[in-house]
Amino acid sequence: MAYFIQQTMVFCIPLMIVALAGVFAERSGIINIALEGIMVFGAFIGVLTLRLLLALRFGPEQGQLLLIIVIIVTIIMGGVFALLLAYASINLKADQTIGGTALNLLAPALVLFLVLMINQQNDLNIDSKYTAANLFMFFLEDFGLEAFKNDTSFLGVIVNVLFNKLYLTNLYAILIYVGLSIVLYKTKFGLRLRACGENPHAADSLGINVVKMRYIGTIISGCLASFGGFIYALTAAGCTSNGDVAGLGFLALAVMIFGNWKPVSIFLAALLFGALKCISVGYQYIDFLSFLTEWNISSHAYRVLPYFITLVVLAFTSKRSRAPKAEGIPYDKEARY
Amino acid sequence: MENYAIEMLNITKNFSGNLANDNITLQVKKGEIHALLGENGAGKSTLMSILFGLYRADNGVIKKDGEIIDVKDPKDATRFKIGMVHQHFKLIENFSVIDNIILGAETTKYGFILKKESKEKVKALSEQYGLHVDLDAIVENITVGMQQRVEILKMLYRENDILIFDEPTAVLTPQEIEELLKIMKNLANSGKSIIFITHKINEILSVADRCSVLRKGKYIGTVNISETSKEELSEMMVGRKVNFVTEKKESSPTDVVLEVENLCVSSGRKGKNSVNDVSFKVRRGEIVCIAGIDGNGQSELVYSLTGLKKINSGNVLLNGVDLKRLSIDKRNKLGIAHIPEDRHKHGLVLDFSLGDNLVLKRFRENQFQKFGFIKKEEVKVYSDQLIEKFDVRSGEGAFSIVRSMSGGNQQKAIIARELDLNYELLIAVQPTRGLDVGAIEYIHKQIVEQRDAGKAVLLVSLELDEVMNLSDRILVMYEGEIVGEFNPKETTVNELGLYMAGSKKQTKEMK
Ligand SMILES: Nc1ncnc2c1ncn2[C@@H]1O[C@H](COP(=O)(O)OP(=O)(O)OP(=O)(O)O)[C@@H](O)[C@H]1O
Ligand SMILES: [Mg+2]
């Protein structure tokens, strides 16, 4: 059970943070389908920074500081990468879907190219002396809770989920998620951002700088997606970067649509998709799903599950979801509406 | 020298070759209601958009209280306390009323919005000026009248003292208009200066102090309302005498074209139907008018006839053919022409050219296509002819993008397209909404000519003047039912009003 919850979180956290990335861009009026590409880029930047810092004799002793530096660099670079999309969509008034697709093509190619240059092979890792786990992970022992090790009672499960094999990135992600959700709904900035995605002409007539808000929305989007990419690389991909994040960026888009562009619903949607993904890759290890192994269905069938369910769920729910009204339309001040 | 609250001097604005404002001067005194009158496309909205900073003038200066100001964008306008209610509202539909009002002028602490304080401030304002709104309602769910009050509150919340109203009454019911005019007077009395654009001269006569007139982008003159008349104003505006009463012969109806029997249209909600057990006939050579206060089922009735909404029970026959299960396209082919209520939603493809919009219902005819390819040349020739005939004014003729055209000219484009179809029945809903008096005169004449040529006309109008002026028979709708039938020569506006408000009802036998 503890394993199931933790594995679900491994997927759920990057999904929700990247879906929130989508929300910030789209609520400002910019469609960001480049989430996948930015994740790939973020994963690369994160791993690269970590690798370089380790080479500078940073070590496990400064693990948590190291992690924070890496996250900050990743976030900043993600924002910079998203500037490409912002410039193309806002200044050049390019079609945002095509611009995003271009970034999705560019990111893996660029990353693979750089990885090959740096490492002379198809993936980039950190020095094999270290693993992500021994650098950053907290265990029960670190909190003096080793008594709960194999405890399967309710309390035991909770303690294990919260304090065993803990990456602080998840905690940071959740804090950022909650913080930004509040910003989106309770602050002046959030109100204005949402106005730009709904009716930029109205926003403009109230003295709101639509171009600026859309830039900020897209940059925040890039920051979050990049962070999400790094979380994925760290917690699910063993700290490697190889130009791929397993389609998580696209899944995050689906989560965003399924969650109707609203943080709370997105969190629930991400949980659902995270659980499915977890089942699909690790059903053999989940105690209460042992019957699945007994059915003798090819494991490939389970692997398809999250993507298949995405398709079905979206087919039925997307009609009811309501996208920001002005998303995807370049803002033209002199055009009538 | 006079003291003016706001002055616009020698304003010129050119939209790629189309001179929308040509050396215009407008001077507004403090505390007055200053009307701005002009034909469709005369440049009123453009002039006001310049004052509000949405467009930049190519030439000219703006002065506030005697000092030159530079209004680069709406932010500056707000800084100079200039506010505007736009012809098409600028509201965010899925935001609440309060969020719409405070947007852009939020009171905050550490970036967080102070909702409670803002609400109190808005409440105080709405009480002071009698602007009733529900602050927590979502804008897309409230009536047009309330949306407009939200727009007014937006200006008051920003403590604006120059208030621009661009055709505020075009979308309102007569009751709402009366209320609005009262509010405007209140505002002027409290020291605000108001610029009021409308095509309805009666409204100008009843509230305005002075009136400036524009024609084809040029300034014609300013008059004191106390020293002028309806006739003089309309003559200044169109450059000739305008006839307010449409001349028409006695109608001589022949065969029945449209027959509606016990029609019911569900409202989607439990309980009452939006159209309930309605029966009537429209014959060749007559104009039947449906009068009523907005929201009493007229729109749904028209939707069900044209195919935009499902008929739940009852029969609708066009020349004997049952329309009930036919698609919109089939109904059109059987001879329905439709001037829709919402020109943006159902009337035009805003990002298509004017020419393409004018052949929107006919492009499959052999005249306009060969092997499925549109004959562009034919479309141009045909649309030029309609543009000329109906005096549709725009920047680049058939090639103008409809979105860039003025509201009134968009309406004229629809009317031109529909009246030129080879149809049996014309369904016209508020056909003259947003048109200037000259255009209204022309459209009314056209409709009567169509009648005399043997067409059947079903007119839906909220404006009693139009109803009395055009119709041969009047049906009054109240809460989805027809509550009375009248001959316009034997009834009065007052009598109609009683039926429209539901305080009187004819029994089956009387009809
Ligand atoms: N954004 C624009 N781009 C191009 N042309 C424009 C634009 N805005 C207005 N025009 C043109 O300028 C002219 C004046 O338009 P305007 O909207 O000011 O007229 P109006 O007096 O408000 O008319 P109405 O009574 O029909 O609303 C019209 O010919 C219109 O086509
Ligand atoms: Mg106008």
Q: ipTM of the assembly?
A: 0.87
Measured in angstroms, the CA of A43 and the nearest CA of chain B are apart by: 32
B337: left (phi over 0), alpha (psi -120 to 50) or beta: beta
Of B103, B160, B166, which to mutate for an interface test with A (greatest number of A Cβ within 10 Å)?
A: B103
Tell me if B54 and A205 make a contact (CB, 8 A cut-off): yes
Residue B328's CATH number: 3.40.50.300
| pLDDT at B172 exceeding the cut of 90 | no
Among A327, A198, A207, A23, smallest CA distance to B102 is for A207
Which has the higher per-residue pLDDT, B302 or A286? Answer: B302
- A329 in contact with B at a CB cutoff of 8 Å? no
Tell me, what DSSP letter sits at residue A60?
A: G
For residues A18 and A75, give the distance between their C-alpha atoms in angstroms, rounded to a whole number.
12
Q: What is the pLDDT of residues B310-339, one digit of tens each?
A: 999 999 999 999 998 899 999 999 999 999
Question: DSSP class of residue B362?
Answer: T
**CB-based contact B90 A201, cutoff 8 Å:** yes
Residue B509 has pLDDT above 70, yes or no: no
Phi, psi of B316, rounded to the nearest 5 degrees? -130, 115
B44, B92, B151, B348, best to mutate vs chain A, most A CBs in 10 Å: B92
* Mean pLDDT value of segment B414-419: 94
Closest among B369, B367, B395, B394 to B382, alpha carbons compared:
B367
Residue B278 sits in the same domain as residue B382: no
Residues B142 and B226 in one domain: yes
CA distance B46 to B26: 13
A76-80, A269-273, B167-171, B433-437: range with highest mean pLDDT: A76-80
Q: Are B437 and B413 in the same domain?
A: no
pLDDT value of residue A335: 64
Cβ within 8 Å, pair A205-B55? no
| Pick from A315, A209, A324: nearest CA to A254 | A315
- CA–CA distance, B472 with B463 (Å, rounded to integer): 15
Which element (helix H / strand E) includes B23? strand B18-29
Q: Which fold has domain A2-139+153-320?
A: ABC transporter involved in vitamin B12 uptake, BtuC (1.10.3470)
Q: Which residue has the tokens 């369904």?
A: B427
The span from the CA of B338 to the CA of B233, in Å, is 32
Question: CA torsion sign, B189 to B194 to B196 to B201?
Answer: positive
Last residue of a domain, one of B182, B214, B238: B238
Given phi > 0 = left and psi -120 to 50 = alpha, else beta, which region is A156? alpha
Look at residue B243 and tell me if it is in a domain: no
Which residues from B are below 8 Å from A when comparing CB atoms?
A: 52, 54-55, 73-75, 77-78, 84, 86, 88, 90-95, 99, 102-106, 108, 111-113, 154, 403-404
Nearest to B74 among A183, A204, A336 (CB): A204
**What is the C-alpha end-to-end distance of chain A, expressed in Å?**
55
What residue of A is the nearest CA neighbor of B75? A207
State in Å: Cα B18 to ligand 1 middle. Answer: 9
- Flag if B403 and A198 touch (Cβ within 8 Å): no
In a domain, B34, yes or no: yes
CA distance A122 to A116: 6
Residue that is written with structure tokens 């494991």 in the block: A299
Taking Cα atoms as reference points, which of B406, B345, B90 lies closest to residue A326? B90
Residue B330 and residue B349 in one domain: no
* A202 in contact with B, Cβ within 8 Å: yes
Ligand 1: which atom is nearest the Cα of residue B47? 18
Closest residue to B55, CB basis, from A189, A207, A334? A334
DSSP label of B264 = E
Is B233 part of a structural domain of the chain? yes
CA torsion A171-A174-A179-A180 (nearest 10°) is 130
Strand duo B321-322 + B313-318: pairing: antiparallel
How many helices (DSSP H) and strands (DSSP E) are in chain A? 14, 0
Q: pLDDT confidence of A334, banded at 50, 70, 90?
A: low
- The burial class, CB within 10 Å (0-12 / 13-18 / 19+), for B130 is exposed
Ramachandran area for residue A176 (φ above 0: left; ψ -120 to 50: alpha; else beta) = alpha
Angle ∠(B497,B492,B439) on CA atoms, nearest 5 = 85
Question: Does B215 fall in a domain?
Answer: yes
B25 Cα–ligand 1 center, Å: 17
Tally of domains within chain B: 3
Give the mean pLDDT of A182-200. 96
Best of A199, A325, A333 to disrupt the B interface (most B CBs within 10 Å) is A199
Cβ(A239)–Cβ(A50) under 8 Å? yes
Instruction: Quote the tokens at residue A284.
Output: 């053999």
- Provide the residue range defining the domain that includes B262: 253-335+423-511
With a cut of 80, say whether residue A265 has pLDDT above it.
yes
Which candidate, A170, A314, A173, A201, places its Cα nearest to that of A254? Answer: A314
* Residue B193, pLDDT above cutoff 80: yes
Question: What confidence score (pLDDT) does residue B40 get?
Answer: 87
* pLDDT confidence bin for B224, thresholds 50/70/90: very high
Tokens matching residue B212:
């400036």
Answer for the pair B153, B126: CB distance below 8 angstroms, yes or no: yes
Instruction: Name every chain B residue with its beta carbon within 8 A of the beta carbon of A207.
Output: 73-75, 77-78, 104-105
A276-295 residue pLDDT tens: 888 888 777 777 777 777 77
Q: What are phi and psi of A165, to 5 degrees?
A: 50, 50
pLDDT given at position B456? 95
Q: What is the 3-state secondary structure (H, E, C) of A203-227?
A: HHHCCCCHHHHHHHHHHHHHHHHHH
Give the integer Cα–Cα distance in Å for A274 and A280: 10
Q: Is the pLDDT of residue B511 over 60?
A: no
B154 and B274 housed in the same domain:
no
Whole-number Å distance between alpha carbons of A141 and A148: 10
- State whether residue A199 sits within 8 Å of chain B by CB: yes
| CB of B451 closer than 8 Å to CB of B249 | no
Answer yes or no: do B208 and B356 share one domain: no
Tell me which residue has its CA closest to atom 25 in ligand 1: B40
Protein residues placing their CB within 5 Å of the ion ligand 2: B 45, 87
Find the helix or strand (DSSP H, E) in which B62 lies: strand B59-64
Rounded to a whole number of angstroms, the distance from the CA of A200 to the nearest CA of chain B is 9
Higher pLDDT, B308 or B246: B308
Q: Which spans in A56-130 are helix H? A: 63-86, 96-119
| Residues with C-beta less than 6 Å from any ligand 1 atom | A 334, 336; B 15, 18, 20, 38, 40-46, 87, 393-395, 404-409
* CA B37 / ligand 2 centre spacing (Å): 10
Q: Do A186 and B113 touch (CB under 8 A)?
A: yes
Give the per-residue pLDDT at A213.
97
**pLDDT > 80? residue A208:** yes
Q: Which of B422, B456, B474 is the last residue of a domain?
A: B422
Q: Of B211, B238, B265, at which residue does a domain stop?
A: B238
User: Cα–Cα distance between A270 and A258 in angstroms, integer?
Assistant: 9
Give the chain A residue whose CA is nearest to the CA of B84. A205
What mean pLDDT do residues B3-18 have?
91
Average model confidence (pLDDT) for chain B? Answer: 90
What pLDDT is attached to residue A237?
A: 83
Q: Averaged over B102-120, what is the pLDDT?
A: 93
Distance (Å, whole) CA A282 – CA B374: 59
For residues A26 and A218, is the Cβ–Cβ distance under 8 A? no
Indicate if B504 and B437 belong to the same structural domain.
yes
Nearest CA to B288 among B426, B415, B464, B463?
Answer: B426
Quick one: B96 and B231 in the same domain? Answer: yes
State the Cα–Cα distance between residues A244 and A99, nearest whole angstrom. 19
Selection from A288-302, A306-320, B157-171, B259-273 with the highest mean pLDDT: B157-171
Q: Which of B52, B55, B91 sits opposite A202 (nearest CB)?
A: B91
**What's B195's DSSP letter?**
E
Our CA dihedral for A162, A164, A168, A173, rounded to 10 degrees, sits at -40
Question: From residue A329, how far is each of A84, A196, A198 by CA, in Å?
Answer: 17, 11, 11
CA of B44 to the centre of ligand 2 (A): 6
Q: Which two tokens stand for residue A14?
A: 């990057």
Q: How confident is the model at residue B510 (pLDDT cuts 50, 70, 90)?
A: low
- Is B443 contained in some domain? yes
Q: Which residues of B touch A206 (CB under 8 A)?
A: 74, 78, 90, 103-105, 154
| Two structure tokens written together for B309 | 């909404």
Quote the tokens at residue B113.
């919005």
β partners of residue B484: B476
Same domain? For B162 and B305 the reply is no
Under DSSP, the state recorded for A335 is: S
Is 70 exceeded by the pLDDT of residue B71?
yes
Percent of chain B with pLDDT over 70: 98
CA distances from B172 to B129, B148, B476 (A): 19, 9, 19
Q: How confident is the model at residue B494 (pLDDT cuts 50, 70, 90)?
A: confident
pLDDT at site A63:
82
Whether residue B257 sits in one domain with residue B133: no
| Banded pLDDT at B429 (limits 50, 70, 90) | very high
A203/B104 touch (CB, cutoff 8 Å), yes or no: yes
Residue with tokens 């089942």: A279
Q: Residue B50 has what pLDDT?
A: 94
Residue A212 in contact with partner chain B when CB distance is under 8 A: no
The identity of residue A34, as a single letter, is A
Instruction: Residue B14: count other Cβ atoms within 10 Å of its Cβ.
Output: 14
Name the band, by pLDDT with cuts 50, 70 and 90, for residue A61. confident
List CB contacts of B465: < 8 A, sequence separation 6 or more.
none
Examine residue B229 and state whether it is found in any structural domain, yes or no.
yes
Beta-carbon separation of B73 and A207 below 8 A: yes
Alpha-carbon distance of A239 to A230, in angstroms, equals 8
* Secondary element (H or E) of residue B447: helix B437-452
Closest Cα in chain B, distance from residue A260 (Å): 13
Domain ranges of chain A: 2-139+153-320
The answer on B267 and B153 residing in a single domain is no
Chain B nearest-CA residue for A201: B90
B224 has which bridge partners?
A: B210
> Which ligand has its closest atom nearest to the C-alpha of B392?
1
CA of B409 to the centre of ligand 1 (A): 9
B435 and B498, same domain (yes or no): yes
Closest chain A residue by Cα to residue B76: A207
Determine, for residues A204 and B73 on separate chains, whether the beta-carbon distance falls below 8 Å.
yes
DSSP per-residue letters across B231-257: HHHHHHHHSS---SS---PPP---SEE
Taking alpha carbons only, the member of B408, B410, B401 closest to residue B16 is B401
User: Does A186 contact chain B (CB < 8 Å)?
Assistant: yes
Query: B34 in helix, strand or coil?
Result: strand
CB contact under 8 A, B113 and A203: no
Which token pair is B446?
A: 């056209």
Q: What is the CA radius of gyration of chain A?
A: 21
Please tell me the predicted confidence (pLDDT) of residue B508: 57
Query: What kind and span of H or E run contains A183?
Result: helix A168-186
Query: Residue A111: what residue type?
Result: V
Is the residue at B244 inside a domain?
no
| Token pair 């696209």: residue | A250
Q: What pLDDT score does B306 carry?
A: 94
Average pLDDT of the segment spanning B381-393: 93
Q: What is the pLDDT of residue A84?
A: 95
Q: How many CB pairs under 8 A join A and B?
A: 77
Which residue has its alpha carbon closest to ligand 1 atom 28? B41
Structure tokens at A71: 């996250």
